C-alpha cells in the first residue's frame, strides 16, 4: 500500500498543499467572508492548522472517515481543510435528512467520528449511535472576528499537541465520500479524489477565465458538490469566497452589489427568485458589471428564464454536471450564452463525452444516454464494487441522463433517464413540458411527472405554483400548452400547489410530485 513515507511512492501525483501556498503567496488576500467575519489566507491557514491538531488529538488520522453535520459557515470551511492536513476523508451530511436517513449513512460509510456545529448538535445527539461525537464551536471575540474550536459533546476542549501535518496533497487520494440524493434507490457514497477537484478546477478556469480580483459567491449548501467545489477552487486559484449560511434571494442580490462578486453558482429556481426580487425593486434593476458569470446548474434551464436574463444582460452560463463528475462536466462559455441558448455547452477540457443509445453512438441531434470519461470522473462508489462496475461501460461512466449533441458538439440535456415519460411509444421529456408551462406569465414554478395510463402506458401530469396574486384556470394553461406542444406531450392534468418538492440544492424532486395530488389546489382532467 502506498503511504506518505513510502520511498516507492509516485511523486507525479503530489502537489503542495493548496491553502498553504495561498497563505505564502498572498497572506493578506481575503480567503472567505461569512457575515461580518473576514478571514484572509493567513488567518484561514492558521485556523486550519489549529483545528487539524485538535482533530488529531481526538483520534483523527490518515484514512479516518469523518462525518460532518453542519450548516454553511466558517467552521465548515476550517474543518474541510483541516481534514486535508490529516489525510482524513470528509463525509458531508445533508442537514435536511431525517435522523433515520443520517443514521443509515453513518453506518453505511463506517464513519469513525461525527462532528456537528452548534446548530446541529441536538440532531447529532438524536442519531444515537455508538459513534464518537464532537462539536465545532465558533467563538466571536469581536463582531468581525471568529475562532473555530473543537469541543467534545460534553463541552470539554481538546488539548492541542505536537502533530505532524501534511504539506503535500496526493491527487490520487480520496478527499470526500459524498452521498447521492438517492433518486433511484438507496444513496451511494461517491468517491471524490483530490485529483478530481484539481482537474475540475483547471477545466473550469480554462473555460471561464481567471482574474486576480475574482470573488465567488457561495450560496449552495457545502454538503453538495456544487458548494464544496467552490471552496476547493478558492484555494487552487487563490480567490475570495463570500459564503452565505443559506440561500436568500435578497441577501444574494445585496452581496452581489456590495462585495464585488464576479461569479455565482445557482440553480434555475434560485436565479428566478433573485430576478423576482430585482423586479420588486422597480425600474430597470439589474446587476453591476462586476458580475461576469452566473453558473446555472441543476438541470435544463427554462427558456423564459434564459430570455429574461438576456434582456437584463445578465451573463448566464449553463452547466451540466453531477456528484460523480465533481460538479461541472460541461459548461457553456460566456461568449456562447446568447448564441446557444438552452445548451449546457461543450465538455471541459479534461472531460470526454459521448451519447449512446443501447450501447451504440447516435447521430447528431438524436437523443441518447450521456456518458463521461476523464480525470474529473469518480473512480466509483465507496465499498460498492458491484454498483461501481455497473456504472461503467468500457471505462465510460453512465450518467443516466438523456441528451443530444448538435452539429457543433454542444450538449443539450433533456432529462434524467428515470424521469423520462414514454406515452404510446413516444418519449416525453418533463423539462420540455415544464419550460412551456413556465412561459405563461402566471406560472412561477412547474413540475411534470408520469402517471400510469391503461391505454398509453404513461401520460404526463403537471403541478404548478403560480406567482403571488396570480389566478388562472387550468384550462387556460392546458390550451397554452397545446399551442406549443404535440398532443401526447400536453399534461393530462394540472394540479395547483403552494410549493414544489425540491432538495437542499433547489433541484426539483419529480419522484415526489405524485404525492401532491389531492393535497391542495384545483385539478384539471
Please report, for the domain that includes residue 31, its CATH number: 3.40.50.12780
Mean pLDDT for the chain? 90
Does residue 392 share a domain with residue 260? yes
pLDDT tens digits for range 224-273 = 999 999 999 999 999 999 999 999 999 999 999 999 999 999 988 889 89
Q: How confident is the model at residue 154 (pLDDT cuts 50, 70, 90)?
A: low
Please give the Cα distance from 53 to 164 (Å, whole number): 8
Grid cell in block for residue 26:
498572498
Q: How confident is the model at residue 286 (pLDDT cuts 50, 70, 90)?
A: confident
Look at residues 151, 170, 189 and tell me which one is the last residue of a structural domain: 170
Q: Report the SS3 class of residue 33.
A: strand
Please give the Cα distance from 177 to 179 (Å, whole number): 7
How many residues can be counted in the chain?
Answer: 525
Given a cut of 50, whether residue 2 has pLDDT beyond it is no
Q: How confident is the model at residue 350 (pLDDT cuts 50, 70, 90)?
A: very high
What average pLDDT does the segment 44-52 reach? 96
Given a cut of 70, whether residue 430 has pLDDT beyond it is yes
3-state helix, strand, coil in the chain (%, to 5): 30, 30, 40
Q: Please report which helix (H) or strand (E) contains residue 424, including its range.
A: none
Q: Is residue 299 one of the residues assigned to a domain?
A: yes
Does residue 233 share a domain with residue 350? yes
Q: How confident is the model at residue 187 (pLDDT cuts 50, 70, 90)?
A: confident
Does residue 40 share a domain with residue 92? yes
- pLDDT on residue 303: 81
Given a cut of 70, whether residue 104 has pLDDT beyond it is yes
Look at residues 418, 446, 464 and tell me which one is the last residue of a structural domain: 418
- pLDDT on residue 181: 64
Q: Is residue 507 one of the residues assigned to a domain?
A: yes
Half-sphere exposure of 249 (CA within 13 A, CB side): 16
Pairing outcome for strands 352-357 and 368-373: antiparallel
Interior/surface letters 384-395, b for 16+ CB within 10 angstroms, e for the rest: beeebeebbeee
Does residue 407 share a domain with residue 365? yes
Question: How many domains does the chain fold into?
Answer: 3
Does residue 368 share a domain with residue 311? yes
Q: How confident is the model at residue 3 (pLDDT cuts 50, 70, 90)?
A: very low
More confident residue, 97 or 115: 115
Q: Compute the Cα dihedral for 245, 248, 251, 257 and give only its sign.
A: positive
Does residue 37 share a domain with residue 107? yes
Q: Is residue 192 one of the residues assigned to a domain?
A: no
User: How many CB atoms within 10 Å of residue 222?
Assistant: 23
Given a cut of 90, whether residue 283 has pLDDT beyond it is no
Given a cut of 50, whether residue 5 has pLDDT beyond it is no
Please give the Cα distance from 405 to 412 (Å, whole number): 6
Does residue 426 share a domain with residue 405? no
Q: Is residue 78 one of the residues assigned to a domain?
A: yes
Which burial class, exposed, middle or buried, applies to 308 when counting CB atoms under 10 A from its CB (0-12, 13-18, 19+)?
A: middle
Please give the Cα distance from 191 to 177 (Å, whole number): 5
Q: How confident is the model at residue 519 (pLDDT cuts 50, 70, 90)?
A: low
Q: Which residues touch 215 (CB under 8 Å, ≥6 apart)?
A: 30, 239, 240, 241, 242, 259, 260, 261, 262, 263
pTM of the full structure = 0.85
Residue 98: alpha-carbon gap to chain centroid:
20
Does residue 394 share a domain with residue 492? no
Does residue 412 share a domain with residue 425? no
- pLDDT on residue 183: 46
Q: How confident is the model at residue 177 (pLDDT cuts 50, 70, 90)?
A: very high
Q: Is residue 188 one of the residues assigned to a domain?
A: no
Q: Is residue 56 one of the residues assigned to a domain?
A: yes
Q: Which domain holds residue 432?
A: 420-524
pLDDT tens digits for range 269-278 = 889 899 999 9
**Do the beta carbons of residue 264 and residue 220 sit within 8 Å?**
no
Q: Is residue 337 one of the residues assigned to a domain?
A: yes
**Do the beta carbons of residue 501 and residue 513 sit within 8 Å?**
yes
Q: Where are the alpha helices (DSSP H) in 2-73?
A: 18-25, 41-57
Does residue 433 share a domain with residue 414? no
Grid cell in block for residue 138:
465558533
Does residue 392 share a domain with residue 372? yes
Residue where the block lists cell 449560511? 245
Does residue 230 share a domain with residue 372? yes
- Of 32-36, 422-426, 478-482, least confident by mean pLDDT is 422-426
Report the candidate in 457, 456, 477 with the shortest Cα–Cα distance to residue 523: 477
Given a cut of 60, whether residue 505 has pLDDT beyond it is yes
What average pLDDT does the segment 429-434 reach? 89
Report the candidate in 173, 228, 222, 162 with the shortest Cα–Cα distance to residue 201: 228
Look at residues 395, 418, 441 and tell me which one is the last residue of a structural domain: 418
Q: Report the SS3 class of residue 146.
A: strand
Q: Is residue 297 one of the residues assigned to a domain?
A: yes
Report the candidate in 466, 470, 484, 477 with the shortest Cα–Cα distance to residue 524: 477
Amino acid at each position: 500500500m502506498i503511504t506518505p513515507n513510502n520511498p516507492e511512492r509516485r511523486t507525479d501525483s503530489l502537489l503542495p498543499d493548496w491553502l498553504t501556498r495561498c497563505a505564502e503567496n498572498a497572506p493578506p488576500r481575503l480567503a472567505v467572508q461569512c457575515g461580518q467575519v473576514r478571514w484572509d489566507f493567513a488567518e484561514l491557514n492558521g485556523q486550519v492548522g489549529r483545528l487539524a491538531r485538535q482533530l488529531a488529538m481526538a483520534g483523527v488520522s490518515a484514512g479516518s472517515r469523518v462525518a460532518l453535520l453542519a450548516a454553511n459557515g466558517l467552521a465548515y470551511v476550517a474543518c474541510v481543510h483541516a481534514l486535508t492536513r490529516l489525510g482524513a476523508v470528509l463525509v458531508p451530511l445533508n442537514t435536511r435528512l431525517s435522523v433515520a436517513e443520517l443514521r443509515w449513512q453513518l453506518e453505511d460509510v463506517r464513519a469513525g467520528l461525527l462532528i456537528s456545529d452548534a446548530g446541529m448538535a441536538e440532531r447529532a445527539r438524536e442519531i444515537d449511535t455508538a459513534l464518537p461525537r464532537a462539536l465545532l464551536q465558533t467563538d466571536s471575540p469581536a463582531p468581525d472576528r471568529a475562532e473555530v474550536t473543537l469541543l467534545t459533546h460534553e463541552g470539554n476542549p481538546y488539548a492541542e499537541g505536537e502533530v505532524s501535518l501534511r504539506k503535500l496533497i496526493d491527487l490520487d487520494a480520496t478527499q470526500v465520500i459524498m452521498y447521492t440524493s438517492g433518486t433511484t434507490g438507496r444513496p451511494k457514497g461517491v468517491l471524490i479524489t483530490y485529483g478530481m477537484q484539481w482537474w475540475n478546477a483547471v477545466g473550469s478556469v480554462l473555460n471561464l477565465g481567471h482574474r486576480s480580483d475574482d470573488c465567488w459567491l457561495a450560496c449552495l449548501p457545502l454538503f453538495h458538490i456544487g458548494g464544496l467545489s467552490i471552496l476547493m477552487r478558492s484555494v487552487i486559484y487563490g480567490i475570495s469566497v463570500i459564503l452565505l449560511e443559506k440561500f436568500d434571494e435578497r441577501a444574494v442580490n445585496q452581496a452581489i452589489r456590495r462585495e464585488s462578486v464576479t461569479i455565482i453558482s445557482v440553480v434555475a429556481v434560485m436565479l428566478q427568485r433573485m430576478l423576482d426580487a430585482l423586479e420588486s425593486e422597480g425600474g430597470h434593476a439589474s446587476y453591476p458589471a462586476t458580475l461576469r458569470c452566473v453558473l446555472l446548474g441543476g438541470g435544463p434551464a427554462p427558456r423564459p428564464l434564459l430570455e429574461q436574463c438576456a434582456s437584463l444582460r445578465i451573463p448566464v452560463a449553463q452547466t451540466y454536471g453531477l456528484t460523480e463528475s465533481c460538479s461541472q462536466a460541461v459548461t457553456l462559455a460566456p461568449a456562447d450564452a446568447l448564441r446557444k441558448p438552452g445548451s449546457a455547452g461543450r465538455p471541459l477540457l479534461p472531460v470526454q463525452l459521448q451519447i449512446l443509445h443501447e450501447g451504440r453512438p447516435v447521430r447528431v441531434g438524436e437523443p441518447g444516454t450521456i456518458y463521461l470519461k476523464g480525470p474529473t470522473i469518480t473512480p466509483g462508489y465507496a465499498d460498492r464494487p458491484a454498483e461501481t462496475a455497473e456504472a461503467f461501460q468500457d471505462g465510460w461512466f453512465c450518467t443516466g441522463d438523456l441528451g443530444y449533441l448538435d452539429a457543433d458538439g454542444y450538449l443539450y440535456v433533456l432529462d434524467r433517464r428515470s424521469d423520462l415519460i414514454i406515452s404510446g411509444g413516444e418519449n416525453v421529456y418533463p423539462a420540455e413540458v415544464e419550460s412551456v408551462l413556465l412561459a405563461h406569465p402566471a406560472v412561477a414554478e412547474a413540475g411534470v411527472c408520469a402517471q400510469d395510463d391503461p391505454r398509453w402506458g404513461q401520460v404526463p401530469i403537471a403541478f404548478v405554483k403560480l406567482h403571488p396574486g396570480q389566478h388562472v384556470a387550468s384550462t387556460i394553461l392546458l390550451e397554452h400548452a397545446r399551442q406549443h406542444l404535440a398532443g401526447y406531450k400536453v399534461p393530462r392534468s394540472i394540479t395547483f400547489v403552494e410549493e414544489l418538492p425540491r432538495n437542499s440544492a433547489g433541484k426539483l424532486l419529480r419522484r415526489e410530485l405524485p404525492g401532491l395530488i389531492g393535497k391542495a389546489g384545483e385539478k384539471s382532467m
